[in-house]
Amino acid sequence: MDHSCQDWMSALPEELWDIPLTNLAIPGSHDAMSYCLDINSPLVRSESNFLRLLDGLFYCFTRPIIFKWATTQDKSIEEQLSMGIRYFDLRIAHKPNDSSNDLYFTHVIYTHLTVLETLLSVNTWLESHPKEVVILACSHFEGMDVTCHESFIFCLKKLFGSKLCPREVSFLSAANLLKKKKEKRKKRCCALTHLTCSSQESVLTLRHLWASGYQVILSYESQTAATHQELWPDIPYLWANQQTAQGVISYLDRQKDLGRPEGFFVAGLNLTAGRSYITMNPKQSLQTLTFSNWECLKEWVEEQIPGSDPKSINIIAGDFVGPLPLCSLVIALNQKLVQKQSSQIKADIIS
């Protein structure tokens, strides 16, 4: 396993320490916890009645198929962190007819590992990597009522403590940062203002996060989050719902033409196979489909540019981030920001 990117944020050039995280290229993991799906667990509540009927009648036939098409990752959460993944798509639920308060991750079925034991591992990893920042995107929350949400949020606050970056950070005075940038530009001739996005996100930089001890940006896709400053709103995920690389790329390019969202957003490289494809290709799996389309997706990634421009990218998430070199490809895109700064400095000197 490649560990060369395990501290990539702290290894970035100093010129990028004052760039908002929303303008950096960040590698992400789609359905990050599907490596530990429990093949014998129930279907999640949101699955169709048709699949539920098939699963009830032909369990021995449907389960292997569900398992190989629902599994999107094959590396543990700690391994993904050490490979450089910094955005995690985490789908959370409470099992039906479960009297305990345990929560699990889901993708069609539930995981072996519970949510809290997994996040404890994340916290332990962060302790050893104090300059790395992760974005945990918690969503779905099937089977969870208000009481369950509040209990879970209490546990999250207790677990991560002072590592949690409050969302109010992104609304701190942009005037102070702009003043500092002007001073730095006079000293170093750095045109950082061209690389910042909206004033709302202008202080969410590595330098600021490091100084504050923040390592966790926790996105929580529920109205419950509104009353908790430690929780961020859900992050837009551009999902193509296509089973070919060409289909995914066409969708993402159309979205780029519309302009990038404010703040964080995710370009999803994950492929989605329809029922007919799965039925007609019994020897295939999501892994074989992803691998066969990788070269085309790889070329698209290499062409992308991070930053604040309307067609720029931010987080790029994919499947099977262990065997495929997504992390190194996405992290390398940040060098384009350094090159852009150098070009702007030369232009300023000439003018």
The DSSP secondary structure of 288-317, one letter per residue, reads HHHHHHHHHHHHHHHH--BSSSTT-B-EEE
Please report the pLDDT score of residue 190 as a whole number.
42
Q: List beta partners, residue 37.
A: 111
pLDDT average, residue stretch 16-25: 96
Distances 239 to 30, 80, 162, 198, 253 between C-alpha atoms, Å: 10, 21, 33, 24, 12
- Note the pLDDT tens digit of each residue in 86-98: 999 999 999 999 9
Q: Is 140 left (phi over 0), alpha (psi -120 to 50) or beta?
A: left
Q: The pTM is what?
A: 0.91
Q: How many other CB atoms are there within 10 angstroms of residue 129's CB atom? A: 16
- Note the pLDDT tens digit of each residue in 305-330: 999 999 999 999 999 999 999 999 99
Distances 297 to 26, 291, 304 between C-alpha atoms, Å: 16, 10, 11
What span, in angstroms and rounded, lies between the C-alpha atoms of 300 and 316? 11
Instruction: Grade residue 3 by pLDDT with cuts at 50, 70 and 90.
Output: confident
- Note the pLDDT tens digit of each residue in 220-248: 999 999 999 999 999 999 999 999 999 99
Please report the pLDDT score of residue 91 as a whole number.
98
What span, in angstroms and rounded, lies between the C-alpha atoms of 128 and 188? 33
Of 179, 215, 177, nearest in space to 198 by CA = 177
Average pLDDT, the chain: 91
Of 326, 336, 324, 323, nearest in space to 301 by CA = 326
What span, in angstroms and rounded, lies between the C-alpha atoms of 314 and 266? 7
Instruction: Grade residue 4 by pLDDT with cuts at 50, 70 and 90.
Output: confident
Those residues whose C-beta lies under 8 Å from the C-beta of residue 58, and which sit 6 or more positions away, are none
Mapped onto helix, strand or coil, the DSSP state of residue 10 is coil
What span, in angstroms and rounded, lies between the C-alpha atoms of 191 and 188? 9
What span, in angstroms and rounded, lies between the C-alpha atoms of 19 and 9? 12
